[in-house]
Amino acid sequence: MDKLSEYISLKITEFLHRNFEIYKDFSEEIEKIKEEYIALVKELLKGKENLHEIKPKAFLLGRKLFKKDVSYMLILDINNYLLPEIAVILSQIEENTATFLYKISFIENRMKFLENKIAYGYLSENIKQDKDWIREKLRILKNSESTLKPFVRDHLIWVNKLLEDVKKLRYKSSIPLGHYNCDLGRRLEHADGLGIFDEYRTEIITLHKKIHGSAIQIYHFLEKRDYKHLLLEYLEFFNLVGKFVSLLGLTFAVMYEEDANIDPLTKVLSRRSLEFILSSNFHIAKISRRPLSVAMVDIDNFKKINDKYGHQVGDCVLKKIAQEIQSSLRKSDFIFRYGGEEFFILFPFATKEDAVRIMEKIIKKLSGSKIKCGNFEETVTISVGVSSIDNVEDIYSLISLADKALYRAKSSGKNRVSA
């Protein structure tokens, strides 16, 4: 197996070089991970080692993958590439069909073993991060007076108990499973159960059912000790939970103006609701490795409008600009009144380039028309700063980068986007 081990080492390097563009942001980390992974593969293929000695090494590699922000899918991609290549080389070496089939089966089983143990390490670190996220959401909810608060809180506690079961590898659930066995699920089924508007209730019910369906699968994979599929299902589960919490956060905002989640003047979301919605979407983007972008928007020369025409006209301009921006956004986007004449826009699942294109269209639309408010009838422009989740560790850095980009847009002539 020594020659085969060297061949596998060569093929892993070849795969990473061929696909280097995908993994270029993690070049140093991947180089180290590659060496560790190759060493583990070589040990596994010897056939005489005690697999129990490999387990902790694979577990630690999984933890390292997560901490270095390298997707577990890298391991699966490598193995999916390797196995056909190994089959080709073995078919050239082994003339005996039975021996060939035995070796292919042996290698495939060992690769699956490695995938499984690495997944377990990756999962353990993921759970730590997600528990922190739940604590943060519960902290934010603590200050909310919404009548939906107890249901969201109870469901987050339910999710936290599931995480504990996964962490301790308990396949007998300590929580009720199934949409109709959950108090929130039962209440959602009644039109007046939570007072949720129909347009949100249907989507919330669908997400809630998917969450419970995914939870059932998680306990199935726990019982089988199938950590690879457990991890993949868990990532999907938490993605659904993030969307669910974010949608309920939006529902809070729409339903309860008295909570100050809706800006009373412009009728867009208020800054108070920003932390809850942005942090949820930020976490979803991080764990699912999907894009996310934000924009900071400032109305150009707004002080002059207020000074010349008065605050009543100024308020009218603010409302109309907010309406124009909101009508040009996607259904999945969020717009917040950030303060004064500033707005903040969240673009889930959008790259920086996507966000820039959307904002450039809005700028063009505003530049080609006039805002009419009483005796005021003029073109009003905006300046925009855009930032994305790429290479950003927290929401505060994300906002800061957008703010700096906005400053560049204002400094370089206004009525433009800077990213």
CA distances from 138 to 126, 205, 378 (A): 19, 21, 46
- Residue given tokens 């300046």 in the structure block: 383
CA distances from 126 to 68, 120, 235, 245, 277 (A): 12, 10, 9, 18, 21
Q: What is the mean pLDDT of residues 261-274?
A: 83
pTM, 2 dp? 0.66
* Confidence band of 10 (pLDDT split at 50, 70, 90): confident
Q: What is the dihedral of CA 91, 97, 98, 104, to 10 degrees?
A: 20
Q: Is the pLDDT of residue 213 over 60?
A: yes
Q: Is the pLDDT of residue 193 over 70?
A: no
> What pLDDT does residue 248 have?
73
Lowest-pLDDT range of 144-158, 204-218, 308-322, 324-338 = 144-158
In what side-by-side order are the strands of the sheet with 342-348? 269-270, 334-339, 342-348, 292-299, 382-388, 417-418
**CA 169 to chain CA centroid, nearest Å:** 25
Helix (H, G, I), strand (E, B) or coil at 63: helix
Higher model confidence: residue 232 or residue 42? 232
Q: Is the distance from CB of 270 to CB of 337 less than 8 angstroms?
A: yes
Q: Is the pLDDT of residue 257 over 50?
A: no
* Confidence band of 221 (pLDDT split at 50, 70, 90): very high
> What pLDDT does residue 47 have?
64
* Confidence band of 258 (pLDDT split at 50, 70, 90): very low
Q: What is the mean pLDDT of residues 230-243?
A: 90
Q: Which of 12-26, 34-48, 380-394 has the highest mean pLDDT?
A: 380-394
Phi, psi of 294, deg, nearest 5? -135, 160
Q: With b meaning 16 or more CB within 10 Å and e meaning fewer, what string describes 294-308?
A: bbbbbbbebeebbee
**CA 150 to chain CA centroid, nearest Å:** 25
Q: HSE, CB side, 13 Å, CA atoms: give it for residue 263.
A: 23
* Confidence band of 252 (pLDDT split at 50, 70, 90): low
Q: Is the pLDDT of residue 2 over 80?
A: no
> What pLDDT does residue 144 have?
62
Helix (H, G, I), strand (E, B) or coil at 388: strand
Q: What is the mean pLDDT of residues 176-198?
A: 73
Architecture of domain 2-122 in this structure: Orthogonal Bundle (1.10)
Cα–Cα distance measured from residue 78 to residue 34, given in angstroms and rounded to the nearest whole number: 10
> What pLDDT does residue 23 have?
55
> What pLDDT does residue 224 have?
94
Q: Which two tokens stand for residue 369?
A: 């028309």
Mean residue pLDDT across the chain: 84
Q: Is the pLDDT of residue 191 over 60?
A: no
Q: What is the mean pLDDT of residues 280-295?
A: 83
> What pLDDT does residue 415 have?
95
Higher model confidence: residue 57 or residue 20? 57
Cα–Cα distance measured from residue 140 to residue 153, given in angstroms and rounded to the nearest whole number: 10
Q: Which two tokens stand for residue 276?
A: 């809850």
- Spell out the long-range contacts of 410-416 with Cβ–Cβ below 8 A and sequence spacing 24 or more: 410/298, 410/300, 410/383, 414/300, 414/301, 414/381, 414/383, 415/300, 415/363, 415/367, 415/381, 415/382, 415/383, 416/363, 416/383, 416/384
Higher model confidence: residue 311 or residue 19? 311
* Confidence band of 32 (pLDDT split at 50, 70, 90): confident
Cα–Cα distance measured from residue 174 to residue 162, given in angstroms and rounded to the nearest whole number: 7
> What pLDDT does residue 388 have?
95
* Confidence band of 296 (pLDDT split at 50, 70, 90): very high
Domain coordinates in residue numbering, the chain: 2-122, 144-259, 278-418
Q: Which CATH class is domain 278-418?
A: alpha beta
Q: Which two tokens stand for residue 97?
A: 């069909």
Dmax (CA) of the chain: 92
> What pLDDT does residue 394 have?
86
- List the CATH code of the domain at 144-259: 1.20.120
DSSP state of 413: T
Q: Is the pLDDT of residue 15 over 80?
A: no
Q: What is the mean pLDDT of residues 353-368?
A: 95
